[in-house]
């Protein structure tokens, strides 16, 4: 059972709390009457995502870069600050690498000073362009250290290393979750991620842009399922690293068909070059997460896409 289900009030720091995943997490914590501090520099996040809470006494917003040290009294640190989409993390790669290394170091030092539990939002990207499929946690990956995705992939890998060393040396309770592609309401319209791109293009009656031949695969998890797993992992005894995602692997062409059929079956596709180092396959091995927290994603891709389209329509995006 989660602590806040037992009505214990704790102080939570959510870095990147104004972003896509962070704001869903903030929402769940606020709905459970927890004390929440959201730290964000609004690079890809927005006050709109947290506007409901800004006047609430148990919510505090700190507008700051996570690379700057901070002193706070907290019980739990949810470290999500880092741009999530290739378009944004590649727009300033040096800043992305810095956010990962210095930001994670700052948060680990805060955990060390306060004794707070820390959960680090790592990524399936640490497997790079994997040579085995699906990817279990003990696979070391196939990452290009010099490519356009490296600032993010290597940034997350060094962050995992820092987490593991702080845990070993200082005996801290640190959890590493490897998040696979997640989608849903509050994705940025200009994020460049495939699901938001296809939905926006479809709603504007434009052709859907498929990069490469569209045979590359991903597995997409709906945001509510992802947040549910993240909350359960923080409440568990497990440190990880642990994969979280959906096990249904689809090609980008199949995804385009699903979205096209939900918006307008007459939509067309156009093919554009595949960006360099774009992984050809990605699918999480979920055996560990299923066993340890008895968690399975409940939302089918069809239902999740339908909900996301509805959200984009309602929000006039
Ligand atoms: P997002 O870009 O929507 O959110 C990131 C948030 O972090 C934003 O609010 C942004 O303003 C903030 N931020 C960025 N750099 C910062 C800095 N230096 N200081 C303070 N705040 C900063 O991305 P997201 O999809 O919500 O991803 C959140 C986290 O989850 C990221 O760490 C990302 O790597 C990880 N993740 C996400 C996915 C996914 O599919 N969404 C997959 C794997 C991992
Ligand atoms: N992609 C695409 N069209 C788009 C955006 C992305 O075909 O308009 C492809 C992209 O090349 C990749 C996949 O969709 O193969 C997932 O891309 P996304 O940026 O969403 O996530 P990531 O590459 O980080 O998994």
Q: Which ligand 2 atom is nearest residue 181's CA?
A: 25
The verdict on the CB of residue 44 being under 6 Å from ligand 1 is: yes
Contact 142, 126 (CB under 8 A): no
- Give 72's pLDDT tier (boundaries 50, 70, 90): very high
- Mean pLDDT over 161-187 rounds to 97
Instruction: Give the C-alpha separation, 133 to 309, whole Å.
Output: 30
CB atoms within 10 A of CB 128: 23
Cα(65)–Cα(47) distance, integer angstroms: 15
Q: Which of 127, 152, 183, 222 is catalytic?
A: 152
Residue 81 in contact with ligand 1 by CB distance below 6 A: yes
Give the helix ranges, DSSP H, for the chain.
20-31, 86-91, 93-114, 150-170, 194-203, 223-235, 252-263, 287-293, 301-314
For residue 54, report the distance from its CA to the centre of ligand 2, in Å.
Answer: 33
Q: Report the pLDDT value the prediction gives residue 317, as an integer from 0 to 100.
A: 65
The number of CA neighbours under 13 Å toward the Cβ of 260 is 17
Verify whether ligand 2 is closer than 6 Å to residue 221 (CB atom).
no
Q: Is 152 a catalytic residue?
A: yes
Mean predicted confidence (pLDDT) in 43-61 = 96
pLDDT single digits (tens) 184-222: 999 999 899 999 999 999 999 999 999 999 999 999 999
The pair of three-digit structure tokens given for residue 23, joined into one six-digit string: 């704001």
Of 3-7, 50-54, 80-84, 97-101, least confident by mean pLDDT is: 3-7
Reduced 3-state DSSP string for 177-215: EEECCEECCCCCCCCCCHHHHHHHHHHCCCCEEEECCCC
Tokens 């842009």 belong to residue: 209
Q: With a cut of 50, say whether residue 1 has pLDDT above it.
A: no
Span from the CA of 201 to the centroid of ligand 2 (angstroms): 14
Q: Is 83 touching ligand 1 by the criterion CB < 6 Å? A: yes
Contacting residues for 277 by C-beta, under 8 A, at least 6 apart? 128, 129, 144, 147, 148, 149, 150
The closest residue, in CA terms, to atom 11 on ligand 2 is 211
pLDDT of residue 159: 98
Among protein residues, the one with the nearest Cα to ligand 1's atom 27 is 84
Distance CA 34, CA 43 (A): 26
Q: Which ligand is located closest to the Cα atom of residue 281?
A: 2
Q: Are 269 and 256 in contact (CB under 8 A)?
A: yes
Band of the pLDDT at 8, cuts 50, 70, 90? confident
pLDDT band at 3 (very low <50, low <70, confident <90, very high): low
Q: Percentage of the chain surpassing pLDDT 90?
A: 95
CA neighbor of 61 nearest in space, from 99, 35, 80, 82: 35
Q: What DSSP string describes 126-162? A: GGBS-SSSSBPTT---B--TTSTTHHHHHHHHHHHHH
Q: Mean pLDDT over residues 80-105, rounded? A: 97
197 lines ligand 2 (CB under 6 A): yes
Atom of ligand 1 nearest to the CA of 99: 18
CA angle 214, 317, 250 (to 5 degrees): 25
Q: Using 50, 70 and 90 to split pLDDT, how confident is the model at 5?
A: low
Q: Whose CA is nearest to atom 19 of ligand 2?
A: 193
**Pocket flag, ligand 2, residue 218 (CB < 6 Å):** yes
Rounded CA-CA distance 101/110 in Å is 14
Q: Is 103 helix (H, G, I), strand (E, B) or coil?
A: helix
Give the pLDDT mean for 127-131.
97
Q: What is the mean pLDDT of residues 291-310?
A: 96
Residue 4 has pLDDT above 90, yes or no: no
Distance 79 CA to ligand 1 centre (A): 9
Q: Which atom of ligand 1 is nearest to the CA of 84?
A: 23
Give residue 16 CA to ligand 1 midpoint distance, Å. 6
Query: How far is 209 from 194, CA to CA, in rounded Å?
Result: 9
Q: Decide whether any atom of ligand 2 lies within 6 Å of the 209 Cβ.
A: yes
Q: Is the CB of 284 under 6 A from ligand 1?
A: no
In angstroms, what CA-CA distances link 78 with 64, 117, 177? 16, 9, 11
Alpha-carbon gap, residue 249 to 219, rounded angstroms: 5
Other Cβ atoms less than 10 A from the Cβ of 177: the count is: 21
Q: Which residues contact 240 (CB under 8 A, 6 or more apart)?
A: 137, 175, 176, 177, 178, 233
| Phi/psi-derived region of residue 41, left when phi > 0, alpha when psi is between -120 and 50, beta in every other case | alpha
Among candidate residues 138, 140, 120, the one with its CA nearest the CA of residue 130:
140
Ligand 1 centroid to 251 CA: how many Å?
A: 24
């Amino acid at each position: 059972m989660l602590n806040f289900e037992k009505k214990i009030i704790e102080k939570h720091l959510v870095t990147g709390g104004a972003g896509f995943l962070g704001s869903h997490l903030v929402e769940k914590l606020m709905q459970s009457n927890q004390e929440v501090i959201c730290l964000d520099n609004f690079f890809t996040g927005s006050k709109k995502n947290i506007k409901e809470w800004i006047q609430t006494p148990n919510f505090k917003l700190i507008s700051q870069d996570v690379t700057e040290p901070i002193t706070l009294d907290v019980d739990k640190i949810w470290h999500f600050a880092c741009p999530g989409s290739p378009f944004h993390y590649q727009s300033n790669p040096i800043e992305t690498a810095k956010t990962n290394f210095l930001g994670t170091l700052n948060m680990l030092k805060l955990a060390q000073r306060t004794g707070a539990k820390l959960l680090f939002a790592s990524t399936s990207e640490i497997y790079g362009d994997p040579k085995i499929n699906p990817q279990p946690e003990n696979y070391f990956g196939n990452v290009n250290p010099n490519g356009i995705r490296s600032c993010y992939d290597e940034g997350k890998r060094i962050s995992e290393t820092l987490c593991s060393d702080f845990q070993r040396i200082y005996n801290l309770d640190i959890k590493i979750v490897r998040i696979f592609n997640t989608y849903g309401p509050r994705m940025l319209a200009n994020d460049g991620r495939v699901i938001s791109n296809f939905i926006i293009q479809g709603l504007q009656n434009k052709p859907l842009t498929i990069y490469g031949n569209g045979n590359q695969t991903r597995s997409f998890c709906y945001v509510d399922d992802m947040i549910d797993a993240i909350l359960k992992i923080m409440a568990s005894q497990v440190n990880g690293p642990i994969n979280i995602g959906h096990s249904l692997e689809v090609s980008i062409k199949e995804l385009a068909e699903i979205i096209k059929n939900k918006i307008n079956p007459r939509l067309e596709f156009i093919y554009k070059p595949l960006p360099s180092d774009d992984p050809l396959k990605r699918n999480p091995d979920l055996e560990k997460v299923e066993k340890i927290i008895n968690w399975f994603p409940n939302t089918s891709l069809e239902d999740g896409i339908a909900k996301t389209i509805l959200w984009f329509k309602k929000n006039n995006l």
